[in-house]
Amino acid sequence: MYVSERQDIYMTTATKQQLTGTVISNKMDKTVVVKVDLVKRHPKYHKSYTKSYRYKAHDEENTCEIGDKVIIESSRPISKDKRFVVLKKV
């Protein structure tokens, strides 16, 4: 938490988004593609379905292999498509 010079104003930093997914590609240098599955429910028909998202994440040591479960966290833009960083393997 950041406290300004005026003691009555408090500014909090935003928390970063963390997602859990599976590595589906590691062919790029220091980059992995992570597939994140979210289970949603249809608002009218109440049927559950799976929505998949693919995120490119920065892997500094190139340690992730295909099939690994990883936790990714949002960060500043690293390149045109990379907005996430691999935190750790699960």
Q: Is residue 44 part of a domain?
A: yes
Domain count, the chain: 1
Q: Where are the alpha helices (DSSP H) in the chain?
A: none
Mean of pLDDT values over 1-20: 68
In the Cβ-directed half-sphere of 57, how many Cα atoms lie within 13 Å?
35
Please indicate, yes or no, if residue 83 is contained in any of the structural domains: yes
CA 20 to chain centre: 7
Single pTM value for the model: 0.81
For 56, the enclosing helix (H) or strand (E) is strand 48-58
How open is the CA angle 25-37-26, to the nearest 5 degrees? Answer: 10
Reported as a single tens digit per residue, the pLDDT across 34-67 is 999 999 999 999 999 999 999 999 999 999 999 9
Looking at residue 30, the DSSP 8-state letter turns out to be T
64 in a structural domain: yes
Residue 4 placed within a domain: no
Q: What range does the domain containing 26 cover? A: 15-89
CATH of the domain at 30: 2.40.50.140
